[in-house]
Amino acid sequence: MTDIPLAPCEKILRRNGAPRVSAEGVREFALVLEGVTADIAKEAAELAQHAGRNTVMVEDVRLARKNRK
């Protein structure tokens, strides 16, 4: 399971063009979001540290997003 609530996940999928979503599909989407979210957060924290700061700033988040594969 994930910390991300499933109801909004299903809403997001529908809003982006999915007429229907399987229960397993919603859970998988929540898991994927959890992973992606953590990856971007980690990268932003590393980028702040790399720039000699303890505080994550807008530019760290933007670069983390840009660097993601």
Give yes or no for residue 7 binding a second copy (CB under 8 A): no
Give yes or no for residue 17 binding a second copy (CB under 8 A): yes
Q: Which of 1, 19, 51, 52 binds a second copy (CB under 8 A)?
A: 19
Contacts of 14 (CB under 8 A, 6+ apart): 21
Residue whose C-alpha is closest to residue 50's, from 42, 65, 11: 42
Residue 49 burial (CB count, 10 A): 12
Q: Which chain residues interact with a second copy by CB under 8 A?
A: 12-13, 15-22, 24-25, 27-29, 32-33, 35-38, 40-42, 44-46, 48-49, 54-58, 60-62, 64-65, 68-69
